[in-house]
Amino acid sequence: MEFILLVPFILGVIDVGYVYLQPEPFYDTIISGAISSPEYRLGAQYFLLRLDQHLLMRHVWQLGVLVVLIPKILSFIEKGEGDELKSILNKWLLIFWGILMMMAILAIMYALEKMFETNLFHSLIVIGNNGGIITFFLYIALFVIGIIPIYFPTILYGYPQQIQAMAITKSEEQPEDLKFGLDKQVVIEKFERLKESRSYLNQNFNLTECSRELEMPSHHISYFLKQQYEVSFTEYKNKLRMEYAKQLIENGYLETNTIEALAQECGFTSRTSFSKTFKTLVEVSPSAYGLSFR
Return d(Cα 268, Cα 234) in angstroms, integer.
13
Residue 163: per-residue pLDDT: 36
Between 267 and 148, the higher pLDDT residue: 267
Under the banding of pLDDT at 50, 70 and 90, the label for residue 260 is very high
Give the pLDDT confidence score for residue 91 in this predicted structure: 79
CATH topology of domain 176-291: Arc Repressor Mutant, subunit A (1.10.10)
Q: Are 262 and 278 in contact (CB under 8 A)?
A: no
* pLDDT band with cut points at 50, 70 and 90 for residue 57: confident
152-178 tens-digit pLDDT:
555 555 554 443 333 333 334 444 444
pLDDT (0 to 100) of residue 175:
42
Q: Which residue has the higher pLDDT, 101 or 51?
A: 101
Ranges of each domain in the chain: 2-156, 176-291
